[in-house]
Amino acid sequence: MRLSKRGEYGLRAMIDLAILEPETGNGVVQIKEIAEREKIPAKFLEQILLTLKNAGLLHSKMGIGGGYYLARPADEITLGHIIRILDGPLAPIRCVSQMAYEPCGCPDERTCGLRLVMLDVRNAISDILDKTSLMDVCKRVEDAHLKLEEPSSSPQHD
Amino acid sequence: MRLSKRGEYGLRAMIDLAILEPETGNGVVQIKEIAEREKIPAKFLEQILLTLKNAGLLHSKMGIGGGYYLARPADEITLGHIIRILDGPLAPIRCVSQMAYEPCGCPDERTCGLRLVMLDVRNAISDILDKTSLMDVCKRVEDAHLKLEEPSSSPQHD
DNA sequence: TAATAGTATACTAAATATATAGAGTTTATA
DNA sequence: TATAAACTCTATATATTTAGTATACTATTA
């Protein structure tokens, strides 16, 4: 049930881009910057961002002052979409995948116990990842920062 | 986010054992039988069942008339437990794993956006798999069979 | 004591994951 | 217009995991 490094790095980079977007003006950020900030091997990240670009989630600008930027508003890019591009289907087992269905060879799918449960799992995962956008993540990060600065919520004795 | 063949085969075999249990009297079933019924390579299944036995979920009987049987009542064995034994942690990323935590290297876990979302995913998966027992699966399979036999629920015009 | 059935390891081929390398292309700007 | 910055593209390399095979061994029972 694991996310690959490829998927993890891609998500981190996209979140990084989304968070920086309001600060940079045009939203353009270099691979090298992202790689350093997120501790990702730069050459590996190149491939990942290129894949994401070819899938239409990123645009890029070549040459001096160039870099990558989100192809769409942050609230229109979901984590589920990013993961599907980099790691394939969310479903734990192909016979419950919406985007990449394959029969699993059980005698009758309608009464296959494993399938019934895994369908629930797939839906639970999709309910989160397909409904969480980069914008949502930005908000949660911001909220988490605010919560840290406001010590009233976790009272300390002097 | 995928379940390995090892995990899938193990789950299918355990479900098979749980379903057969009431019919066989002592619940003892041979590897070969399970392998044929579930279309699993027998030698591979041997390894898997042995692992499950060493983890304490199965008992076995050697010699003629031998085989494997559940070490505990079917309602005390969860799918989450089986998967953890065969495939490792349920969590998509180590830094949100309960059983196999590892830091991911982000500057601050408390404000890491990826971690916040993946924690939700881990919990959603665990909420299903750690709360679904082999007995629950048996019931769902039975219900599904009943539903198929009762055509009233899906009316057909003659 | 022979057949049955699980035990235990070792091995291997293929796929996948995780990168690394290097030559090429585009762009800004000095 | 030359140069350096930055992305593009493809190939290659390495390590790990997956999925399975092989083989010799041990225990049980008819």
Query: Which chain A positions have a beta carbon within 8 Å of B90's beta carbon?
Result: 1
Query: Which chain A positions have a beta carbon within 8 Å of B11's beta carbon?
Result: 114
Rounded-to-integer distance, Cα B16 and Cα A113, Å: 9
Alpha-helix runs per DSSP H in A27-87: 31-38, 42-54, 79-87
Residue B155's pLDDT is 52
Query: What is the token pair recorded at A111?
Result: 């009464």
The minimal CB distance from B128 to the residues A11, A88, A117 is found for A117
Q: Closest by alpha carbon to A51, among A101, A7, A2?
A: A7
How far are the Cα atoms of A48, A158, B55 from residue B10, in angstroms, in the given order? 34, 55, 13
Question: One digit per residue, pLDDT tens: chain B, 158 residues?
Answer: 999 999 999 999 999 999 999 988 888 999 999 999 999 999 999 999 999 999 999 999 999 999 999 999 999 999 999 999 999 999 999 999 999 999 988 889 999 999 999 999 999 999 999 999 999 999 999 999 999 988 765 455 45
Chain A: closest CA distance from residue B147 (Å):
10
Residue A121: how many other CB atoms lie within 10 Å: 25
Q: Which domains does chain A have, with CATH numbers?
A: 5-90+130-152 (1.10.10.10)
* CA dihedral sign, ordered A126, B143, B10, B51: positive
The distance (Å) linking the CA of A7 with the C1' of C16 is 14
If pLDDT is split at 50, 70 and 90, which confidence band does A120 have?
very high
DSSP B105: -
How far are the Cα atoms of A46, A146, A148, B49 from residue A155, in angstroms, in the given order? 45, 15, 12, 51
At A99 the three-state DSSP class reads coil
pLDDT tens by residue, A25-81: 888 999 999 999 999 999 999 999 999 999 999 999 999 999 999 999 999 999 999
What pTM, to 2 d.p., does this model score? 0.94
Judged on CB neighbours under 10 Å (0-12, 13-18, 19+), B53 is: middle
Residue A11: how many other CB atoms lie within 10 Å: 26
Query: What is the token pair recorded at B143?
Result: 């219900």
Residue type, B76: E
Rounded-to-integer distance, Cα A89 and Cα B128, Å: 19
Are the C-beta atoms of B116 and A11 separated by less than 8 Å?
no
At B29 the three-state DSSP class reads strand
Q: In this complex, do A138 and B114 lie within 8 Å of one another by their Cβ atoms? A: no
Helix or strand holding residue B70 (H, E): strand B67-70
Judged on CB neighbours under 10 Å (0-12, 13-18, 19+), A49 is: buried
Residue type, B22: P
Residue B158's pLDDT is 57
The minimal CB distance from B79 to the residues A3, A8, A117 is found for A117
